[in-house]
Chain A
Amino acid sequence: MNQLPTEKIFPVHNSIGDLVRHLLPGSAEYVNGFLTIASLLLVVALLPVFLIWLERKVAAHFQARLGPMRVGYHGLLQSTADGLKLIFKEVLVPEGADRFVFFLAPILPASATFLVMTILPFDHHLQVADPAGGVLFALGISGLSILGILLAGWSSNNKYSLLGAMRSGAQMVSFEISLALIMLLIVMVTGTASLREIVLSQQGTILDWWIFKLPFLGFIAFMMYMISSTAELNRAPFDISEAESELTGGFATEYSGISFAMFFFAEFVNMFVSAGLAATFFLGGFLAPQFGIGPIDAAFDFIPGFVWFFCKTFLVIFLYMWFRWTFPRLRIDQLMYLEWKMLLPANLVLLMGAGFFLAMGWTL
């Protein structure tokens, strides 16, 4: 693989940018920036639609069902239809609700996930921004979605919503710690917090991906990332904040119409972001898998990087779905036990172990 240029890539230096720069000298940066944001918005709008369909289809096949089959080929347009329905539905505001906060709450998680999308490295040059502290940015911004959920629970004037929000708050705050520690591990071994740099540090064969590069520890770290990010996403088996058999709908009990759709969409984009980060940290991001066998490597290298990025991301998303449709839900105290007494100590041990491995040069 060629040595990749490592200059700063905001505004994006891609073929569109070059074309615009050529045609309209001076305005290129603005046009380019606008195009980037617009295409990202398009992705953000289409992703949840596809992911919701995928979730329903995957769930159905896990359960020996067919799933949506009517709208479009194998129900491909089902979630579009559902989305349209939600847009046209009346938004009910419960009596005694804090209207301003009630409508503000779903916007926060939606915008937070959108912000994190901007730093995901989709391809060599397909990244809106690559801040030096990208990992920190991802952690900080994703914390914003907790705020949305807490506000939603509080403003709904419903005890079920409040319970769900409180559970979610406790859960996400604590699991964010182990998530941060795993990211810290990656930052430690790569020596950079820029997501693009992290991907580039995994060049070589697939054994150079961080999941394999640190013997055992990388795989354990990946597993722990999966556990804590599932919890961070409020997905089963950690979906205690909306546990429908306990709290009917949790924080989203009172939401309907477009505000409910915002929560729902944010949840799925969040899943994509989380899976994308997993791919970036552990699975080589946009790098094509290389096995050290000439022809195969060349063929894989020919496939554009963003295809690989999406492949890896959807692999992780499938894992999330697999968890969700297999496991029962944990209880709130068990969740806390898992985080504070199992994951966090294990994380610290892992961090020390990785430092030791690095010091001894025991990487593959």
Chain B
Amino acid sequence: MELQPVDNLPEGFTRGLNSDETSEEYFLNMGPQHPSTHGVLRLVLKLDGENVLEVVPHLGYVHRGIEKLAESQTYLQNIHLTDRLDYLSSHFNNLGYCLAMEQALDIGVPERGEYIRVMVCELQRIQSHLLWWGVTGMDLGAISTFLYGFKEREMITDIFEEICGARLTMNFFRPGGSFADVPDTFIPRVKKVIERMHVALDEYNTLLTDNIIFRERTRAIGILSREKALSYGCSGGVLRASGVSYDVRRNDPYSIYDRFDFGIPVGSVGGCFDRYRMKMEEMPQSLRILEQAVKDFPEGPYRSKEQSAYRLPQGSYYSQVETARGLLGTYIVAEGGAKPYRVKFRSPSFSNLSTLCEMAVGHKIADLVTILATLDFVVPDIDR
């Protein structure tokens, strides 16, 4: 087997193409503008006909330097920067940052504030999963799922618009609670969402989960072993699909998650279908949390004492939350001033994406798309 000279290779590759006459190897650039890389992820593939031999992801197309930017803005201003990490989990990102600040300043959150946080976060989890479900269907060629997913997602987005005025970049949580109380229509709207979602989930399962084509497309594709998942630092559905029962809400409870009764779905094989199943089974669990929260939703203040400026005492503070995609860590180093010395986000999408090179090799291009879809990453969260 003769290999091509190494000097003209795409970045990230060490081995050239097999230059045998019978060889069908070639490089294919997938992205940054490609429909199924969900944003501006660029993959360079080494293919043999349809088969993937090597994948090299190239990141950084939406790098906005959020961590660096955070150093020049006050703590309060930084909350709205976290909206733009993973734009489908902005409530979680806000919460992670606020938890770190609360830890530093020893601020408590009133009962109603905690309930608002949990409910809003679980709504966001469902909302994010709905978008993911629609997009996964579309990546696999079932275009209607995209619209169906958005249909229910819209109900939740309307709730967000009503409580904080935004549909995507919420900037809702503040240290000690949230910037505003929820309006009276919040609970009835949530009840309506719960009611609708139970029906909708059945529809989704009939339409996609039980569909034989979908089953065949996701069966035995992109298997990620338990060891690999752990060593790559995966979290969220990707980790749980590989058989590790780890959920920050259960293993390291923040806010008032320890009061609720909910299950953590765990997969066995770690393939695409398991990852898909994790998300689909998480939605009913989120609905369970919402049902309990609606039942005991308390009256009272929604935020502890408001401050116009926050100065974190010297030290380093870390918080972690379970976003729709996995573990989001927020690490703040403070020097005592009005601005942080350094902020670091540990985003779930980055670690989850790094398993791609392991999983996609040996499969077809279509399977690569399936794997990308079930990894459920958000590119701005990877690049930050």
Contacts and interface: CB of A to CB of B under 8 A. Distances in A.
Nearest to A167: B50
Interface residues of B, number: 29
Contacts of A70: none
Interface stretch (B205-213, B229-237, B310-318): B205-213
A245 B139 contact: yes
B213 A63 contact: no
B188 to A, nearest CB: 23
A330 B36 contact: no
B28 A243 contact: no
Contact of B141 (A63, A64, A159, A245): A245
Given A245-B139, A325-B143, A328-B142, A159 B26 contact: yes
Interface residues of A, number: 29
Main SS class of interface, A: loop
Contact of A245 (B140, B216, B364): B140
Nearest to A240: B366
Contact of B366 (A160, A327, A332): A332
Contacts of A64: 147-148, 151
Contacts of B139: 245
B34 interface: yes
Contacts of B36: 245-246
B122 interface: no
A331 B367 contact: yes
A334 B144 contact: no
A237 B34 contact: no
B176 interface: no
B365 A325 contact: no
A328 B144 CA distance: 9
Contact of A244 (B35, B148, B366): B35
Interface string A301-332: 00000000000000000000000011111111
A245 B217 contact: no
B50 A332 contact: yes
Given A159-B26, A248-B35, A327 B211 contact: yes
A244 B143 CA distance: 11
B141 A236 contact: yes
Contacts, number: 79
Contacts of B367: 331
Contact of B213 (A239, A245, A327): A327
Interface in B24-43: 26, 28, 34-36
A189 to B, nearest CB: 31
Given A243-B141, A245-B140, A332-B50, A237 B213 contact: yes
B257 interface: no
A108 interface: no
A243 B370 CA distance: 13
B276 to A, nearest CB: 12
B87 interface: no
A325 B147 CA distance: 11
B34 A327 contact: no
Contacts of B211: 327-328
Contacts of A167: 50
Given A236-B141, A245-B141, A327-B213, A63 B365 contact: no
A252 to B, nearest CB: 14
Interface string A324-355: 01111111111000000000000000000000
18 contacts: A63-B147, A64-B147, A64-B148, A159-B26, A160-B28, A167-B50, A237-B141, A244-B35, A245-B138, A245-B140, A245-B369, A246-B366, A325-B143, A327-B142, A328-B208, A328-B214, A330-B213, A331-B364
Question: Nearest 8 CB-CB pairs, A to B?
Answer: A329-B141, A63-B147, A328-B140, A328-B142, A245-B36, A331-B366, A245-B139, A328-B141
Interface of B: 26, 28, 34-36, 50, 137-144, 147-148, 151, 207-208, 211, 213-214, 216-217, 364-367, 369
Given A59-B144, A328-B137, A328-B142, 11 more contacts: A63-B148, A65-B147, A236-B143, A237-B213, A239-B141, A245-B140, A326-B207, A328-B140, A328-B141, A331-B366, A334-B217
Interface of A: 59, 62-65, 159-160, 163, 167, 236-237, 239-240, 243-248, 325-334
